[in-house]
């Protein structure tokens, strides 16, 4: 059980009332015939989980959140012997359903979701990482170059975690490429003009560096 799960348990035990989750839905998996298990990157707890009861035949019951939905969830108190709370109700602050019509952007958003699922349960301060995730999803929604968004997210995530990404990765790139990368990282995504093959090379390079030199895991 991860740190965020334990915190959620303690909050529910102490309060005895509903607990809130506020963040982005990263995955949704069946949990028996009547429920789905939703994993949310929450602004306070980081990676967290909740169970959602699937709608029955009666009308008026809500459907589960979509992937990448930005949610405000009210949770029922934990039942005795239960380790995951149930969603009592939720509201969508933002939906990214349009990404399903943009295959390249959807694939990159899914890669980021896996990255957060792999690395989101041990963060000291999840809130800035949530804002980084939201900015990436907004960029995908605006149809900005997905690989540029990936590059900036990986770099900023590693930097904000206190990892020496500038000193140990960026500084060891070939000089011309390093200078181009610094310019790319300092400009808005919409203004980036690096060659697509070069961007692909940089994304793969920083992923290799994170897997080899840090505790972060990238698929």
Whether residues 107 and 194 share a domain: the answer is: yes
| Domain containing residue 181 | 98-213
Whether residues 104 and 66 share a domain: the answer is: no
Q: What is the pLDDT of residue 58?
A: 61
The 10s digit of each residue's pLDDT in 67-100 is: 999 999 999 987 777 788 999 999 999 999 999 9
For residue 7, is pLDDT > 70?
no
Tokens representing residue 168 in the block: 């140990």
Listed residues 37, 66, 97: the one ending a domain: 97
Mean residue pLDDT across the chain: 88
3-state secondary structure of 163: coil
Q: Which residue has the higher pLDDT, 43 or 63?
A: 43
The 10s digit of each residue's pLDDT in 169-204 is: 999 999 999 998 998 899 888 776 778 889 999 999
Going by pLDDT thresholds of 50, 70 and 90, the confidence category of residue 9 is very low
* Angle (nearest 5°) at CA 192 between 191 and 193: 115
Whether residues 20 and 63 share a domain: the answer is: yes
Tell me the pTM: 0.88
- For the residues of 54-98, what is the DSSP string, one character each? PP-SSTTPPPPPPTT-EEEEEEPPPPTT-SSPBEEEEEEEE--GG
Q: What is the pLDDT of residue 35?
A: 92
Q: How many domains does the chain have?
A: 2
Whether residues 86 and 121 share a domain: the answer is: no
3-state secondary structure of 218: coil
Whether residues 70 and 103 share a domain: the answer is: no
Tokens representing residue 94 in the block: 């933002």
Listed residues 75, 97, 119: the one ending a domain: 97
Whether residues 84 and 22 share a domain: the answer is: yes
Whether residues 102 and 206 share a domain: the answer is: yes
CA dihedral 86, 45, 13, 77 (to 10 degrees): -20
User: What whole-number distance in Å separates Cα of residue 62 and Cα of residue 122?
Assistant: 32
Whether residues 34 and 108 share a domain: the answer is: no
For residue 219, being part of any structural domain is answered with: no
The 10s digit of each residue's pLDDT in 10-58 is: 544 444 434 899 999 999 999 988 899 999 999 999 999 999 998 876 6
Listed residues 97, 130, 155: the one ending a domain: 97
Whether residues 102 and 89 share a domain: the answer is: no
For residue 57, being part of any structural domain is answered with: yes
Whether residues 146 and 64 share a domain: the answer is: no
Average pLDDT over residues 129-140: 97
Enter the DSSP assignment of 214.
S
């Amino acid at each position: 059980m991860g740190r965020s799960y334990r915190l959620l348990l303690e909050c529910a035990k102490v309060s005895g009332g509903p607990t809130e989750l506020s963040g982005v839905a990263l995955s949704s998996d069946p949990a028996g015939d009547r429920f789905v298990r939703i994993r949310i990157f929450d602004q306070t707890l980081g990676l967290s989980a909740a169970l959602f009861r699937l709608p029955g035949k009666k009308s008026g019951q809500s459907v589960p959140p979509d992937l990448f939905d930005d949610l405000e969830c009210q949770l029922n108190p934990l039942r005795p012997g239960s380790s995951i709370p149930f969603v009592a109700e939720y509201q969508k602050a933002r939906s990214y359903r349009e990404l399903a019509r943009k295959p390249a952007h959807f694939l990159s958003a899914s890669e980021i979701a896996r990255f957060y699922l792999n690395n989101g349960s041990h963060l000291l301060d999840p809130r800035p990482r949530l804002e980084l995730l939201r900015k990436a999803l907004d960029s995908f929604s605006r149809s900005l170059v997905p690989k540029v968004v990936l590059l900036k997210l990986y770099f900023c995530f590693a930097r904000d975690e206190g990892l020496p990404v500038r000193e140990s990765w960026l500084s060891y790139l070939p000089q011309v490429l390093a200078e181009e990368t610094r310019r790319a990282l300092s400009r808005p995504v919409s203004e980036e003009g690096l060659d697509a093959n070069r961007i692909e090379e940089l994304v793969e390079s920083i992923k290799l560096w994170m897997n080899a030199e840090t505790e972060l895991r990238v698929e």
